[in-house]
Structure 1
Amino acid sequence: MTVSTHHDDSPGLSGRLRDLLHHVFGNQKSPTVYPNAPGNSAKPVPTGLADDIDKLGFKDIDTLLIFLNSAVKGVNDDQQFLLEKMIQLLAKLPPASREGKKLTDGLINDLWDSLDHPPVASLGKGFSFREPDGSNNNIHLPSLGAANTPYARSTKPLVFQNPNPPDPATIFDTLMVRDPAKFRPHPNKISSMLFYLATIITHDIFQTSPRDFNINLTSSYLDLSPLYGRNHDEQMAVRTGKDGLLKPDTFSSKRVIGFPPGVGAFLIMFNRFHNYVVTQLAKINEGGRFKRPTTPDDTAGWETYDNSLFQTGRLITCGLYINIVLGDYVRTILNLNRANTTWNLDPRTKEGKSLLSKPTPEAVGNQVSVEFNLIYRWHCTISERDDKWTTNAMREALGGQDPATAKMEDVMRALGMFEKNIPDEPEKRTLAGLTRQSDGAFDDTELVKILQESIEDVAGAFGPNHVPACMRAIEILGIKQSRTWNVATLNEFRQFIGLTPHDSFYHMNPDPKICKILAQMYDSPDAVELYPGIMAEAAKPPFSPGSGLCPPYTTSRAILSDAVSLVRGDRFYTVDYTPRNITNWGFNEASTDKAVDWGHVIYKLFFRAFPNHFLPNSVYAHFPFVVPSENKLIFEGLGAANKYSWDPPKARAPIQFIRSHKAVLEVLSNQKDYKVTWGPAIKMLSGDPATSFALAGDEPANAASRHHVIAALTAPKQWRDEVRRFYEVTTRDLLRRHGAPVHGVGAGPRTHEVDVIRDVIGLAHARFMASLFSLPLKEEGKEEGAYGEHELYRSLVTIFAAIFWDSDVCNSLKLHQASKAAADKMSALIAEHVREMEAGTGFLGALGKLKDLITGNDVHANGNGVYTNGNGVYTNGNGVHTNGNGVHTNGNGVPHAAPSLRSFGDQLLQRMLSQDGRSIEETVSGTILPVVMAGTANQTQLLAQCLDYYLGVGEKHLPEMKRLAMLNTSEADEKLLKYTMEGCRIRGCVALYRAVVTDQAVDDTIPCIPNKDDPTFARPLSNPQVAESARTLKLSTGTRMLVDLTTASHDPAAFPDPDEVRLDRPLESYVHFGLGPHRCAGEPISQIALSSVMKVLLQLDGLRRAAGPRGEIRSYPASQWPGQAGRPPRDPAWSGLRTFTSADQSAFSPLATTMKINWEGRGDL
């Protein structure tokens, strides 16, 4: 056959196409065509490769290569138009092209594989939440894995087994029983806490019916059924039926009562976490999904409200549970806790689809098997302490009989009676003899004591002859159960999970004694039963990382396979584990963070359950699965021992609020008896030199530092004009840069919108700090510079929060780590600039200054700051931008003078460097960096709340404020400053911590009370019974105080008509910048900064909130979670303090993060 070639093709094209198609499809011969073949119509004769090549061109080679690459990688870049090019290629080929059909088949296969067949998730109402019995996990097999269904079988038993196997009692007495004098501690010093979680996991998926050993009474999913119950009735018994809550400190499983108290205490932590979660869900109410009924008689509405909160809370709590299993439990099992790595075995990994592999199925459900029921019996790890506890508990149940010698029938009868005598109502049960308090919960300190002792308790090692004698009847029953199930042999099971069979007893366990016993009982390794064989196997040695649990060899491999199946097969942990299903906040709250504890996450459970007992960096809370003494050695090896506290948990005294203006002034003025608490955080961030910084302490050195900082900040006579000009120009620039036209209801042709907190107020303060201290910002569209504007703002807020807003014990360590990294970067950049500045003070620096004098230009230029000239034309490297002509103008076309903070900042740095006896590094760490850290977040917070007030309750003042803003006179600016300070006073929320160092008494009152007509709790009423509220607070040494400047700002004794805006109040009367020796050193600068930004915003025509929630600040009354729902607040009076959320509501924030405003026009900026 002659091959024809298209006249446009190069000589090599045919060969290239032929080679490529051969590679893709292989070199196959055309099938023989028989002219008289049966059929309804003549079959087309397939064309060959030569005809295909005749139709294709150069571009088709690229298309085939892209197709092949896409098939191998499993990713299609649709910007390359592969689909369209493939259609073009296929359209060129002859209708009967054999290769064309294969390409078409491949395309169809690729399109088919893009979707799940059948789908694994459903929008049906029955699939939204976990069913109490675990059904409906697999949407196509609803009963798969449900409670009260038969166990599965994993391994086919083919080996002939002895009809007369060894006596179970003999097996226990020879292969399993522990000699009390020969306890073997776990080789990796794993604590009993890990095995308490293992107990919860085991009873979560295995609960064999005593009436029918083939039936599993619980679900085959890790759904925390020991807490939530195995069916509807058990679940309702543990629920309050109100607000999604569980009954305090309860759990469903009666069996847990018979375990060492640490297991119950573990479950109680999950109970408390659940109640914390549903409380926050109701508070945030993301997207209005939890609709609280407005009338008490709306029974159906209240039931829906309760159930929506409960079920969502359960999904989140189970999310944390599974992350603890993977992030703490499995990491310890694999000894990853000893390595400086964040890698983990997480079965939820997202696998791509490709030509070479298909992703492992997920969300297909699960059914646990009898073999794994036997694998998870880890009684040999019971510690000496728990051995004694269990023996005593069983002896008491047996009426004094020794459980080691009691008959199995007596033990089973006694355990049955023990469970029968446990109250059916979970709230009536006790734990370890603890007494429930009036709120239904147990005492926190007593529960923490149980947990502390469990964390310090070394578990036992795996291996033969290490099961406590008290478990004799239980183990005999286990052997009998395995025989009724007719399970496969040990070697058959090993082969099933991909392991080599034991070819000798020595291979099973090299201990000659064990080998001899096994040989006497079973004759051959192939005859050894599964359960006795596992108990007789040698334990794996430690590997770091690799082997931390050190179980028997078979168990080591099996449990990892089971973990993958349990997690990846569960729809609620895979395809339906999304922020949309469990809320953004819930998803974030349950998630791990690789930057904290290498991905361990159990600390969240401890801190939410016991917020007042564990220090934020307590090793007891962060790493409870290894005893502290061993953790100390591990962390010393990792160089991280100093990051954690090794002190045992201890209850902290409750915080005492100080509310009245008089008491606030008294406390803040007394440095002798009430000390600031910011020193450790400032030292952590900035090093030892910072201990003498103004805010770090109350010693003479701190006072000297304050005077030095104030002198440095206010020395230049023109500083007020410099600051005012900078903020006004910067605010206009930010409005121009981030404002955008908006359309919709209520919007006009010139309506614009901006996020005033995120993109204006916050960035204005960040730019100020960058310009003042030469922090290099990235210009738009360029990579030069150390920070983007938002990045710098976030860094400044993070650092500030670590010092002044570190109130959430659960997120404290994460906050400290992030703030330390941000502070180190900032310190290095400032120090580098200071060294360059110092180097420029010689001949070259003097020459540059002489040039400026000769040319008459006031030039302040560098890569970091703002440059200006005498004409007011400027650009920047630090965040102040020009328009297209390089000139900022006001509405009349008059150029705005550019801010010249670079020289002001350098002079400030020089003054700070003048402190005697300090190196550049010491000055940067001890003075300059702390000043930077203290100057952005609080100003953003105050101005955001001030603006929020005037756009809401105080909007009647806007016309007059706008009039003043347009005057541009010093008198008008002074009045605007008063308006700004009043807005900050009325709506601002500020409080300061102090520590009591000597026993004291303070007379205090409650100046304001909640307004029942204000659902936001932001607008208080003056207390009409303020005299009756007088009390003397007895403050013992060590008491933590929260000095509430918000209530003091609403105290009529200091601020008559506290709810009204009055311009006759002296500027020095305001307290939101503090009082006494630690009053904000930068208050004058802050006042000008706040009023200047406010002035520019007021100049906007039609200034108003954006419509709907976008124009609102989402905030809630601040309160400390007390560890359990239903507990009365320690101080129920109005505090005025607020907590906020991030823009996506995935986390709480100490300051407002977003509020959109609208205005008309833009060209006048």
Structure 2
Amino acid sequence: MASSSSSGSSTRSSSPSDPPSSFFQKLGAFLGLFSKPQPPRPDYPHAPGNSAREEQTDITEDIQKLGFKDVETLLLYLNSSVKGVNDDKQLLLERLIQLLSKLPPTSTNGKKVTDGLITGLWESLDHPPVSSLGEKYRFREADGSNNNIHNPTLGVAGSHYARSAKPMVYQNPNPPAPETIFDTLMARDPAKFRPHPNQISSVLFYFATIITHDIFQTSSRDPSINLTSSYLDLSPLYGRNLEEQLSVRAMKDGLLKPDTFCSKRVHGFPPGVGVLLIMFNRFHNYVVTSLAKINEGNRFKKPVGDDTAAWEKYDNDLFQTGRLITCGLYVNIVLVDYVRTILNLNRVDSSWILDPRTEEGKSLLSKPTPEAVGNQVSVEFNLIYRWHCGMSQRDDKWTTDMLTEALGGKDPATATLPELFGALGRFESSFPNEPEKRTLAGLKRQEDGSFEDEGLIKIMQESIEEVAGAFGPNHVPACMRAIEILGMNQARSWNVATLNEFREFIGLKRYDTFEDINPDPKVANLLAEFYGSPDAVELYPGINAEAPKPVVVPGSGLCPPSTTGRAILSDAVTLVRGDRFFTVDYTPRNLTNFGYQEAATDKSVDNGNVIYKLFFRAFPNHYAQNSIYAHFPFVIPSENKKIMESLGLADKYSWQPPQRKPATQMIRSHAAAVKILNNQKDFKVVWGESIGFLTKFPTGENPALGFALAGDAPANQQSRDQFMKCIFSPKAWEDEVRQFCEATTWDLLRRYSAKVQDKGPHLKVHTHEIDVIRDVISLANARFFAAVYSLPLKTENGEDGVYSDHEMYRSLMLIFSAIFWDNDVSKSFKLRQDARAATQKLGALVEKHIEEMGSLFHSFKHSHSAVSDKTNGLANGGANGHANGNANGHTNGNGIHQNGGAAPSMLRSYGDLMLRRMIEAYGEGKSVKEAVYGQIMPSIAAGTANQTQIMAQCLDYYMSDDGAEHLPEMKRLASLETPEAFNTLMKYLFEGARIRNTTAVPRLVATDQTVEDNIPCLPDPKDPTFLRPIPNPQQAETTRTVKLSRGSMVLVDLTVAAHDATAFPDPEKVRLDRDLDSYTFFGLGPHRCAGDKVVRITMTAVFKVLLQLDGLRRAEGGRGVFKSLPASQWNGQAGRVAGEKPQWSGLRTYVNADESAFSQTPMNMKIRWDD
């Protein structure tokens, strides 16, 4: 074929640089981009100007234009198309444009590449878009409308049912009577109850009931109408329309009315169904309460005054966001806990889940499944979800009794349909229209509108322990006879497809024989008698007659009829992937960071199961953090025990039934705090169990029982005394500590700060910014403890060590939190498991280091020999027992690790000396392992985090309007290198910490006691943040006798005690004449912080360096403050009393940087300074 004259080039011979034609032809054939040469076309000189018959050029012309780099581009294009990912750093788009620009405009292959490029650009976006910024699309509508933004009525409540399978088989005009079908194929013999083969509990079927009535509620007036939406939006709780939704809302602060749910129908099910909905109600109320506290991005700003519209918007935004989050938890329970149990994945140690929300990539080989397209449920699935076979014996009796009463004493097994309709109508109308006036299972509402926890928990416990029934023929309770007859009549009125037609629709093989449906001759013969042909078997009788699936581990756990098992998985995928609020709009932005995290699954906990969050938020005062009842309620506990034992996980869980935790009494006055915390006989520390959990050996042996903070026995006191002797304190010790911390702080400022602005004449003034809590205070404390205990911290140049600065702090913080700040039962299980892993990892490194030291000094023997043999001959003491090291954290001549930056010489060797002294003090007759996990690791855990909290709160106080007046004087003192100035700065530090610190310590009451307590201070009415108190002018008049019962808990509020004018005159003023040993933030009594004399130096040294920064100030906006909220205990919403005046506790809760979780300590605050 001749070259086109329009190319503007003449034919030329090949040169050595030109690629061979055969290579491009083969490459073109492989890529499918190039065509074979076409025969010449007739020339039409009179064709229109826009004719499609323009002459096209072939590969020969293309070859002349391309080079080897263009080959690379084509290969890169192919690779990108197959993978569906374009690495834009390789400039593929730009290279394609270069390639295409070289080809003749008539190039056939160029057009194909261009077409492919256009197709790829088109497919990068949704057509049409499935998400919208419109305000009306922001939240779920009460009736389910607007889920699909282009078809807003799709799946709306009140719509007609859809049809899934096309019914083509001739229907028998004289089908068998439903009564006969029930009596012969479905009815359960009470004496032949078959427990579920997988020992699934009744709770799974209660949850299935909620799902079923969430998406199926057939109108009694028109059976083709579905009264609820076709989405998993928890309509039994929230209502099917706006009117119903408003009836369950409190219309204040986004809350639902306590312990209510909208659906009256739920009262016709065993009470466990209602308890589950109440649990979701409580979860919703916990979430909206937390959203209002956090107020992420000021999106839930509380109005002031009487602006009705603003208050309504505030309430609605909280409510609707809370609903999105609660539905998010609900769907995660469906997809993980529920579906994993259905597939028997709970019996294997695997975190795989069938999650239809997976992010599918776009590639040449696959096209993502559509999402957010909406849904409309069908009549076939209405029938599929009728699982009456699974009713337990207890629930059979409950339902029989309920229906008998509704029928006026008549046996429900003999009731006619008109009698059933009348009875159910009277039953439903017997409940008040107002949800808050309804009762449940005879439980009475309390003053605050909630039900007593114990009654609800008893119902749930019994339901978890009750095994459900098995699927299969002849296992529907007789009490359901009339209801099942109604179902068969409805199916016929809907003209649903046959069993085989539906199976073919969902991709299953048709049944060829009746024995294929069920090999039981009795069942097969009955089906043959009723229908004559397998193709004529009706859907609903057919799925009830099908043989159930066998138990397969993993694969089949629910063991439903074969057709049902396949259909429900398809429906789960459709329900979730088609829902806009579970896919494209299920984002942290829409749910808030906190809400997204609160509903999220975590594969490190129960392989992703998430229902424990529902239990712990509903009943925080009853379930242990590792209760098997809360973590795996869909299987009865005895079976769970077998499962966990087979997986080697049984010791991770508690097998005790739930029981109320001891009541806690708050103590506030300084005098009462001193009395309690000095009385070890009657008030016991409570940290022993947590310390033991972190340090125990795999054999179960607990080496830390005698650690100082683990108890109040003589052995615990001895441990404290020994620790005090171990703290090495030569004459120069305090100066060395101070120098180390100052040098470390300067090093951290240098390493982690960023220059953000230049200003001033000639731009010679440089502004720097740093996160002072995350990158300075926290890390300075971590480096100090790493030095004191020779922990393996990495140096700046990467030599030696295991942990970076931040990794070390996170590990120490994790361990500390699991012992002293473990007060959120919903987070506790993960916290403890992670902390134990951190403890074991760090402990193993310390143990190894001690053994290496022993080898280095020719004194240590095998780790399981007596420690007393190992310590003989260790290098003797202190400042002279080291060689010089440099300031960059290298290893010195003795092999002692240099932690951090410019560390003074003594502290470089102090860590090994500290370990030596602790081994000698604690290790007589013990192995190194016993000494490490029994004493050294708990000692390490007891520090770091507390100092970080104190320093952060102190700095925040002096950078606030309350304390800023003191900054100039403190800055002057920081510039002086005198002991007097340093000690005065320490007093400022202690005062700032006293005013802002938040500390409370628990004690277990060992004997019945009475304590005289009073209220030292009151909330400042001018302070809406509840941060600052005012002295109580009538403190003495508030004295009361507090009776404390044996076994109860007392929480000593040392924050209020620090504002008690009887102990701290002028409590809201900074005074430098107070005794440093009188402060409460290190505790009081025998368990006061053993190292407080040391850490007061470390904190002051860091404080001093920060005060030397010129122009020290907060960064602008929210980055320069940490969010501080009044701490409050969530009690599952029970016990609220309207109008109750809050007392000032001073206790605060903080949030992390992205505001996705609460924290016990400030975590982030940006500061700036100039140089």
TM-score, length basis structure 2? 0.95
Q: Residue 592 of structure 1: SS of its match in structure 2? A: coil
Q: Residue in 2 aligned with 1:56?
A: 66
Q: Is the 8 A contact 1:166 1:521 kept in 2?
A: yes
Structure 1 pair 715/10, CA: closer, same or farther in 2 (3 Å)?
Answer: same
Q: Residue in 2 aligned with 1:257?
A: 267
How far the C-alpha of 1:1107 sits from its partner, in A, is: 2.3
Q: Deviations over 1:477-513 (max 9, x none)?
A: 1001001111110001001101001111111101010
Residue pairs, 1:830-869, within 5 angstroms: 830-842=846-858, 858-860=883-885
Task: Give the distance between the partners of 1:934 and 1:1036, measured in 2 at CA.
Answer: 29
Q: Residue in 2 aligned with 1:169?
A: 179
How far the C-alpha of 1:880 sits from its partner, in A, is: 2.6
Q: Is the 8 A contact 1:366 1:570 kept in 2?
A: yes
Residue number among 491, 498, 512 corresponding to 2:500 in the alignment: 491
Q: Residue 1036 of structure 2: SS of its match in structure 1? A: coil
Residue number among 76, 84, 91 corresponding to 1:81 in the alignment: 91
Q: Residue in 2 aligned with 1:872?
A: none
Q: Residue in 1 aligned with 2:147?
A: 137
Structure 1 letter corresponding to 2:913: Q
Q: How many residues align?
A: 1139
Structure 2 letter corresponding to 1:719: W
Q: Residue in 1 aligned with 2:705?
A: 691
1:732 aligns to 2:746 (yes or no) = yes
Structure 2 letter corresponding to 1:211: R
Structure 1 pair 1084/406, CA: closer, same or farther in 2 (3 Å)?
Answer: same
Q: Is the 8 A contact 2:892 2:898 kept in 1?
A: no
Residue pairs, 1:497-576, within 5 angstroms: 497-576=506-585
Task: Give the distance between the partners of 2:114 and 2:892, measured in 1 at CA.
Answer: 63
Structure 1 stretches lacking a partner, 5+ long: 870-874, 883-896
Q: Deviations over 1:1106-1142 (max 9, x none)?
A: 2222111211111101211771499942111111000
Structure 1 pair 1000/108, CA: closer, same or farther in 2 (3 Å)?
Answer: same
Q: Residue in 2 aligned with 1:820?
A: 836
1:795 aligns to 2:801 (yes or no) = no
Q: Residue in 2 aligned with 1:894?
A: none
Residue number among 810, 826, 829 corresponding to 2:845 in the alignment: 829
Q: Residue in 2 aligned with 1:752?
A: 768
Q: Residue in 1 aligned with 2:699?
A: none
Q: Is the 8 A contact 2:896 2:909 kept in 1?
A: no
Deviates more, 1:769-778 or 1:984-993: 769-778
Structure 1 letter corresponding to 2:1123: R
Q: Residue in 2 aligned with 1:1020?
A: 1029
Task: Give the distance between the partners of 2:37 and 2:522, measured in 1 at CA.
Answer: 67
Residue pairs, 1:612-651, within 5 angstroms: 612-651=621-660
Residue number among 22, 26, 29 corresponding to 1:19 in the alignment: 26
Q: Is the 8 A contact 2:887 2:901 kept in 1?
A: no
Structure 1 pair 849/458, CA: closer, same or farther in 2 (3 Å)?
Answer: closer
Deviates more, 1:7-16 or 1:272-281: 7-16
Q: Is the 8 A contact 1:18 1:53 kept in 2?
A: no
Structure 1 letter corresponding to 2:461: Q
Q: Is the 8 A contact 2:879 2:905 kept in 1?
A: no
Q: Is the 8 A contact 2:949 2:1162 kept in 1?
A: yes
Q: Is the 8 A contact 1:275 1:1124 kept in 2?
A: yes
Q: Deviations over 1:586-617 (max 9, x none)?
A: 00001011111110000111111111111111
Q: Is the 8 A contact 1:776 1:863 kept in 2?
A: no
Residue number among 706, 724, 727 corresponding to 1:710 in the alignment: 724
Structure 1 pair 408/719, CA: closer, same or farther in 2 (3 Å)?
Answer: same
How far the C-alpha of 1:1104 sits from its partner, in A, is: 1.7
Q: Residue in 1 aligned with 2:330?
A: 321
Q: Is the 8 A contact 1:9 1:57 kept in 2?
A: no
Q: Is the 8 A contact 1:370 1:487 kept in 2?
A: yes
Q: Residue in 1 aligned with 2:315?
A: 306
Structure 1 pair 930/490, CA: closer, same or farther in 2 (3 Å)?
Answer: same
How far the C-alpha of 1:164 sits from its partner, in A, is: 1.0
1:653 aligns to 2:645 (yes or no) = no
Structure 1 pair 399/784, CA: closer, same or farther in 2 (3 Å)?
Answer: same
Task: Give the distance between the partners of 1:339 and 1:470, measured in 2 at CA.
Answer: 37
Structure 1 pair 519/679, CA: closer, same or farther in 2 (3 Å)?
Answer: same
Q: Residue in 1 aligned with 2:36?
A: 28
Structure 1 pair 164/660, CA: closer, same or farther in 2 (3 Å)?
Answer: same
Tell me how large the CA RMSD over aligned residues is: 2.4
Structure 2 letter corresponding to 1:119: P
Task: Give the distance between the partners of 2:227 and 2:764, measured in 1 at CA.
Answer: 65
Structure 1 pair 898/549, CA: closer, same or farther in 2 (3 Å)?
Answer: same
Deviates more, 1:386-395 or 1:1013-1022: 1013-1022
Q: Residue 348 of structure 1: SS of its match in structure 2? A: coil
Q: Residue in 2 aligned with 1:1144?
A: 1154
Structure 1 pair 138/256, CA: closer, same or farther in 2 (3 Å)?
Answer: same
Task: Give the distance between the partners of 2:235 and 2:974, measured in 1 at CA.
Answer: 63
Structure 1 pair 264/748, CA: closer, same or farther in 2 (3 Å)?
Answer: farther
Q: Is the 8 A contact 1:121 1:576 kept in 2?
A: yes
Structure 1 letter corresponding to 2:936: I
Structure 1 pair 543/333, CA: closer, same or farther in 2 (3 Å)?
Answer: same
How far the C-alpha of 1:1105 sits from its partner, in A, is: 1.7
Structure 2 letter corresponding to 1:907: L
Task: Give the distance between the partners of 2:798 and 2:601, measured in 1 at CA.
Answer: 33
Q: Residue in 2 aligned with 1:199?
A: 209
Residue pairs, 1:267-416, within 5 angstroms: 267-295=277-305, 297-416=306-425
Structure 2 letter corresponding to 1:289: R
How far the C-alpha of 1:380 sits from its partner, in A, is: 0.6
Q: Residue 544 of structure 1: SS of its match in structure 2? A: coil
Structure 1 letter corresponding to 2:991: E
Structure 1 pair 877/39, CA: closer, same or farther in 2 (3 Å)?
Answer: farther
Q: Residue in 2 aligned with 1:186?
A: 196
1:920 aligns to 2:940 (yes or no) = no
Task: Give the distance between the partners of 2:759 and 2:357, measured in 1 at CA.
Answer: 44
Q: Is the 8 A contact 1:731 1:760 kept in 2?
A: yes
Q: Residue in 1 aligned with 2:6?
A: none
Q: Residue in 2 aligned with 1:1154?
A: 1164
Structure 2 letter corresponding to 1:701: A
Q: Is the 8 A contact 1:207 1:216 kept in 2?
A: yes
Q: Residue in 2 aligned with 1:1068?
A: 1077
Q: Residue in 2 aligned with 1:910?
A: 916
Q: Deviations over 1:670-695 (max 9, x none)?
A: 11111110001111111211111111
Structure 2 letter corresponding to 1:30: Q
Task: Give the distance between the partners of 2:650 and 2:35, measured in 1 at CA.
Answer: 64
Q: Residue 914 of structure 1: SS of its match in structure 2? A: helix
Deviates more, 1:72-81 or 1:947-956: 947-956
Q: Residue in 2 aligned with 1:947?
A: 955
Q: Residue in 2 aligned with 1:97?
A: 107
Q: Residue 810 of structure 1: SS of its match in structure 2? A: helix
How far the C-alpha of 1:716 sits from its partner, in A, is: 3.3
Q: Deviations over 1:21-71 (max 9, x none)?
A: 111126534265122398413632111111111211110111000000000
1:806 aligns to 2:818 (yes or no) = no
Q: Residue 293 of structure 1: SS of its match in structure 2? A: coil
Structure 1 pair 900/118, CA: closer, same or farther in 2 (3 Å)?
Answer: farther
Structure 1 pair 526/862, CA: closer, same or farther in 2 (3 Å)?
Answer: farther
Task: Give the distance between the partners of 1:595 and 1:197, measured in 2 at CA.
Answer: 24
Structure 2 letter corresponding to 1:157: P
Deviates more, 1:765-774 or 1:903-912: 765-774
Structure 1 pair 878/357, CA: closer, same or farther in 2 (3 Å)?
Answer: farther
Task: Give the distance between the partners of 2:735 and 2:804, measured in 1 at CA.
Answer: 27
How far the C-alpha of 1:291 sits from its partner, in A, is: 2.4
How far the C-alpha of 1:317 sits from its partner, in A, is: 0.4
1:901 aligns to 2:907 (yes or no) = yes
Task: Give the distance between the partners of 1:495 and 1:81, measured in 2 at CA.
Answer: 48
Q: Is the 8 A contact 2:19 2:63 kept in 1?
A: no
Deviates more, 1:839-848 or 1:658-667: 839-848
Q: Is the 8 A contact 1:741 1:752 kept in 2?
A: yes
Task: Give the distance between the partners of 1:579 and 1:878, measured in 2 at CA.
Answer: 42
Q: Residue 1042 of structure 1: SS of its match in structure 2? A: strand
Q: Residue 703 of structure 2: SS of its match in structure 1? A: helix
Q: Deviations over 1:437-478 (max 9, x none)?
A: 111111111011111111111000000100000000100010
Residue number among 935, 948, 966 corresponding to 2:943 in the alignment: 935
Q: Residue 282 of structure 1: SS of its match in structure 2? A: helix
How far the C-alpha of 1:902 sits from its partner, in A, is: 2.4
Structure 2 letter corresponding to 1:902: R
Q: Residue in 2 aligned with 1:1093?
A: 1102
Q: Residue 460 of structure 1: SS of its match in structure 2? A: coil
